Amino acid sequence: MADDEIWVDPDMRQAMARSAEIATEYGLAADRSKLTPEQARERMELDRKWWNEERPQMARIVDTTVPGPGRDVPVRLLYPRDGETLPVIVYLHGGGWVVGSLETHARSMHLLALASGCVVAAVDYALAPEMKFPGAIEETVAVIDFIAASGASWSVDPDRIALSGDSAGGNLAVGTELALRQRGTSPVKALGLVYGVFGDDFDTASYRAFGAGAWGLTTADMKGYFGHYLSGPADHDDPRAVPMKADVTGFPPCFLQSAGVDVLRDDSRLFYEKLRAAGVTVSHTEHAGITHGSMGQNRMVGKSRDLITGLGAQLAGALGE
């Protein structure tokens, strides 16, 4: 598909131009392929700084930790209102399991808290390659276990837990749900999945259309991220790492949001069909003309704000908020 055949939302084109300006302002090289994980993390913090300014006001923000399998796991609690017990959305940021932080995704999570009326519990899970699969999943399980047992100490309802994430965070959300179910029962009442990584097929139509480099996330990026996250070929057969290989029977309601100009577009389409075939209550909203990562460009992209508003309403409805 030629670039001139790809329709891109006008807001998205302006956001892409602004991202290019930011890279120029910071003197950031266009080619990210030779960056070490540490350099890539530093670059993402700079790339996302402007996009996370002017955050909506929260009633309260609390930075805390939860005992994890190898360390205390940092969690940031975003309260849209105070003085009552609220449902909670455990949120996992994107970044290919390698980059990203609570700061790179802060504004989106503020908006999600307001849109849903729920507390957002953002997990600062350990990154790869220092922490390989399934370390981040095990840390998220620890956070959910804490909420289920002691949510009242955070003024959240342990019986109304949703799990959500974008990109690699969407992958981790599904992996965490699978891990909880493998162990027994899961307290998670809904999953919110934003342009998630669900498969490891790099030859889908969307990878072929958008993977060369003009639209942000590339095929080479995704191959590199998998290489950092997984320890070897055997991990590709683990459904917690590649959810397209999972038995999703009995999953809670799933709400998929995806971007039309994204190598991972078809991951959402295919995972939607898999969930539907398994009898799961599922919806999929594909936002035409926006790119991967555009959820975080909500200062300029109206469709990104629509994505967050829609997801917030869906999760709130599933949690009875």
Average pLDDT of the chain to the nearest whole number: 96
Q: What is the pLDDT of residue 316?
A: 98
Of 166, 200, 221, 262, the catalytic one is 262
Statement: the pTM of the whole predicted model exceeds 0.95: yes
CATH superfamily, domain 7-318, is: Alpha/Beta hydrolase fold, catalytic domain (3.40.50.1820)
List the chain domain ranges.
7-318
CA separation for the pair 1, 15 (Å, rounded): 22
Q: Give how far the C-alpha of residue 221 lies from the chain's centroid of Cα atoms, to the nearest Å.
A: 16
**Average pLDDT, integer, range 62-72:** 98
Of 267, 268, 292, 304, the catalytic one is 292
Q: Is the peptide bond before 129 cis (omega within 30 degrees of 0)?
A: yes
**Residue whose C-alpha is closest to residue 167's, from 119, 86, 222:** 222
Q: Is the peptide bond before 134 cis (omega within 30 degrees of 0)?
A: yes
CB environment 142-169: b (16+ within 10 A), e (fewer): bbbbbbeeebeebbbbbebbbbbbbbbb
Helix axes 135-150, 168-183, angle to 10 degrees: 60
Residue 313 has pLDDT above 70, yes or no: yes
* DSSP letter for each residue of 139-175: HHHHHHHHHHHHGGGGTEEEEEEEEEEETHHHHHHHH
**Residue 238 catalytic?**
no
Structure-token pair, residue 202: 């790099």
Structure-token pair, residue 225: 């991220």
> How do residues 117-156 score in pLDDT, each as one tens digit?
999 999 999 999 999 999 999 999 999 999 999 999 999 9
**Residue 228 catalytic?**
no
**Residue 292 catalytic?**
yes
Q: What is the pLDDT of residue 225?
A: 98
Of 19, 164, 167, 268, the catalytic one is 167
> How do residues 156-215 score in pLDDT, each as one tens digit?
999 999 999 999 999 999 999 999 999 999 999 999 999 999 999 999 999 999 999 899
At 4, is the pLDDT very low, low, confident or very high (cuts 50, 70, 90)? Answer: low
Whole-Å CA distances, 104 to 56, 130, 133, 298: 15, 19, 22, 13
* Contact between 140 and 90 (Cβ < 8 Å): yes
